[in-house]
A and B are shown apart, each in its own frame.
Chain A
Amino acid sequence: MRALSYTVAPSAEAAVARFAAAQGSARYIAGGTNLYDLMKLGIEHPAHLIDVSRIDGMDAIETDGDILRFGGRALMTDVAYTPVVRDQYPVLSESLLKAASQQLRNMATVGGNLLQRTRCMYFRNGAGSTSMVGVYPCNKREPGSGCSAIGGLDRTHAVLGTSEACTAVAPGDWPVALMAMDATIEMLGPEGPRNLPIAEFYRLPGDTPHREFNLHPGELVTAITVRKTPAGRASTYHKIRDRESYAFALASAAVALEMDGATVRTARIALGGVATTPWRSRAAEAIVTGSPLTPELALRAGRAAFADARGGQHNAFKIELGARVIADALIIAAERRA
């Protein structure tokens, strides 16, 4: 790890100004659970760390008005256990509580979570062995070097949104829930503040897989907002992993419904663990909207979400698994209607 300077930013404005002064060699650090890990793996090498985890007020969680507003440095634990979130937006709360471990959720912020990088083990330099540094080509780590996962060990990789350059999965759970809830990302940059719908925040890998976010250099995520909706209550984040807990998703679904009796009035469906970005499925939503929800219809919706999926060497199982995860999530969400 290269030597670096470390400073604590007292305010969002100060953080942005410091970033600009460092001329590209700085990184913001919040919990550090992803950035510091990647620094240890020799993948990120900032010369300056600007700690944004103590910015005054940027940990506020506001639930009073028409929107839910989560400060960019609010901890995953604190957002997950906020009563309104836990009781009226289970999809949000569950996406946080089914991620990482209680220790990591006490460190990790909801803003940093949006920007975590893939767990593709080739990207991570052979998962931590220092002798593996730089051994495997990876277009995300070293643009233009090639992709070791395509035709390689791709069991955890994406089946949706892939390209010839990269099939890495977007790892976060929270962004999937936010995608279903049409969240907005509030940012402050050198040019001033800017809001972006989460649907426009993530980039498909295409031929530039190293560019994952539509975030300008130096932009700080100051808050995440979700418009309040009755769909929050009949919602769930359903996550299937290799083990029961403390693992990334093999396939997951964020589902939120508005129901008229047994009939689905509106549906929001987003997928995790199977795509290169948090993935909204309008096709699945269209299948259930306006119809009484049955297990058969739910599975048909699940299958529709994967109509364009492409399996690789070892991950084709995700196509059937993912469809069933959506189907189960629809049933769970529907059972929660008031």
Chain B
Amino acid sequence: MEDERSETTQTCGVTRRVVLASGAGAAAASILPLEQRAQAQQQFARAETGQTVQVSANVNGRPVILEIDSRASLLDLLRERRELTGTKKGCDHGQCGACTVHLDGRPVSSCLTLAAKIDGRQVTTIEGLAEGADLHPMQQAFIDNDALQCGYCTPGQIMSAVACVTGGHATSPDAIREFMSGNICRCGAYVGILAAVQQAAKVMEG
């Protein structure tokens, strides 16, 4: 089965993640020709132990067919098998919101979503929000309002924030805070986040 690689790897050849993931093999990999390096990385990515299941889903508008360990989380599938590393692992236990993605249009915590559950469904990650070079209004609003410090919680914040507006929950500062409470920001950028949601709501609601 063709394990289609992400754009980053195809265009840059080697990414920080390849180096990190290949570990001891990294030194050797860096002197291999591109093609072989890509193969080595694929082998690494395919090293599923345990029992596997096949999932066929749509991730950011593209069809994806993967054989995955039946224990894997959607978060690990995205990060380790699709190289969609925008989605972050904070706690891995549903307690922080850093891993928020949309499943069939609704925010979920991808760390507590069994990857096998996405079969036949649609996943949108932070990488899927922009249209070409045009940022989503919520992404732009986070920049405009300095709604981050370290940025680790930001992809999850933005995924929740988009749903906050589209679901009609951005009706007041308190309603926004309540809806966004599942996304913890260790840096305490909450003031900027609230302002960003309010700004983007105006743009999105036209």
B21 on interface, CB distance cutoff 8 Å: no
B113 on interface, CB distance cutoff 8 Å: yes
Contact indicator B116/A101 (Cβ below 8 Å): no
Complex: how many Å from CA A41 to CA B184?
A: 21
Contact indicator B70/A103 (Cβ below 8 Å): no
Contact partner of B53 among A6, A32, A106, CB < 8 A? A6
Contact indicator A245/B181 (Cβ below 8 Å): yes
Complex: how many Å from CA A148 to CA B118?
A: 39
Smallest distance from the beta carbon of B200 to chain A beta carbons, Å? Answer: 17
Complex: how many Å from CA A1 to CA B70?
A: 11
Contact indicator B160/A102 (Cβ below 8 Å): yes
Contact indicator A49/B179 (Cβ below 8 Å): no
Contact indicator B116/A102 (Cβ below 8 Å): no
B112 on interface, CB distance cutoff 8 Å: yes
Contact partner of B97 among A5, A8, A41, A103, CB < 8 A? A103
A3 on interface, CB distance cutoff 8 Å: yes
A4 on interface, CB distance cutoff 8 Å: yes
Contact indicator A103/B93 (Cβ below 8 Å): no
Q: Which residues of A contact B179 (CB under 8 A)?
A: 102
Task: Categorize the interface residue count of chain B.
Answer: 20 to 34
Smallest distance from the beta carbon of B15 to chain A beta carbons, Å? Answer: 27
Smallest distance from the beta carbon of B177 to chain A beta carbons, Å? Answer: 8
Q: A4-B51, A106-B108, A107-B112 are in contact. Are A101 and B92 (CB under 8 A)?
A: no
Q: A33-B94, A244-B181 are in contact. Are A103 and B160 (CB under 8 A)?
A: yes
Contact indicator B107/A3 (Cβ below 8 Å): no
Q: Which residues of B contact A320 (CB under 8 A)?
A: none
Q: Which of A1-35 contact B (CB under 8 A)?
A: 1, 3-6, 8, 29, 31-33
Q: A3-B51, A37-B93, A128-B93 are in contact. Are A32 and B112 (CB under 8 A)?
A: yes
Nearest-CB residue, chain B, relative to A47:
B51
Q: Which residues of B contact A1 (CB under 8 A)?
A: 71
B129 on interface, CB distance cutoff 8 Å: no
Complex: how many Å from CA A33 to CA B113?
A: 7
Smallest distance from the beta carbon of B37 to chain A beta carbons, Å? Answer: 30
Contact indicator A53/B117 (Cβ below 8 Å): yes
Contact indicator A101/B181 (Cβ below 8 Å): yes
Contact indicator B71/A107 (Cβ below 8 Å): no
Q: Which of A77-112 contact B (CB under 8 A)?
A: 77, 100-104, 106-107
Complex: how many Å from CA A39 to CA B114?
A: 11
Complex: how many Å from CA A107 to CA B106?
A: 9
Q: Which residues of B contact A100 (CB under 8 A)?
A: 94, 182
B50 on interface, CB distance cutoff 8 Å: yes
Complex: how many Å from CA A311 to CA B117?
A: 43
B100 on interface, CB distance cutoff 8 Å: yes
Task: Categorize the interface residue count of chain A.
Answer: 20 to 34
Contact indicator A6/B70 (Cβ below 8 Å): yes
Nearest-CB residue, chain B, relative to A105:
B182
Complex: how many Å from CA A6 to CA B178?
A: 35
Q: Which residues of A contact B50 (CB under 8 A)?
A: 3-4
Contact indicator B113/A107 (Cβ below 8 Å): yes
Contact partner of B51 among A5, A32, A245, CB < 8 A? A5
B163 on interface, CB distance cutoff 8 Å: yes
Q: Which of B46-71 contact A (CB under 8 A)?
A: 49-51, 53, 69-71
Q: Which of A32-56 contact B (CB under 8 A)?
A: 32-33, 36-37, 39-41, 49, 51, 53
Q: Which residues of B contact A5 (CB under 8 A)?
A: 51, 70
Smallest distance from the beta carbon of A320 to chain B beta carbons, Å? Answer: 27
B109 on interface, CB distance cutoff 8 Å: yes
A213 on interface, CB distance cutoff 8 Å: no
Q: Which residues of A contact B94 (CB under 8 A)?
A: 33, 37, 100, 103-104
Contact indicator A37/B112 (Cβ below 8 Å): yes
Q: Which residues of A contact B183 (CB under 8 A)?
A: 101
Q: A1-B71, A6-B114, A107-B113 are in contact. Are A101 and B53 (CB under 8 A)?
A: no
Q: Which residues of A contact B108 (CB under 8 A)?
A: 103, 106-107
Contact partner of A246 among B51, B114, B182, CB < 8 A? B182
Interface 1/0s, chain A 103-129, versus B by CB < 8 A? 110110000000000000000000010
Interface 1/0s, chain B 23-48, versus A by CB < 8 A? 00000000000000000000000000
Interface pairs (5), CB distance under 8 Å: A39-B71, A101-B109, A103-B94, A107-B112, A246-B181
The 8 closest A-B pairs by CB, nearest first: A101-B182, A3-B50, A245-B181, A6-B70, A246-B181, A106-B106, A103-B109, A103-B107
Residues of B within 8 A of A (CB): 49-51, 53, 69-71, 73, 91-94, 97, 100, 103, 106-109, 112-114, 116-117, 119, 160, 163, 177-179, 181-184
Q: Beyond the given A101-B109, A246-B181, please list 8 additional residue pairs across the A-B interface where CB-CB is below 8 A.
A: A3-B51, A33-B94, A36-B114, A37-B93, A100-B94, A104-B94, A104-B112, A245-B181
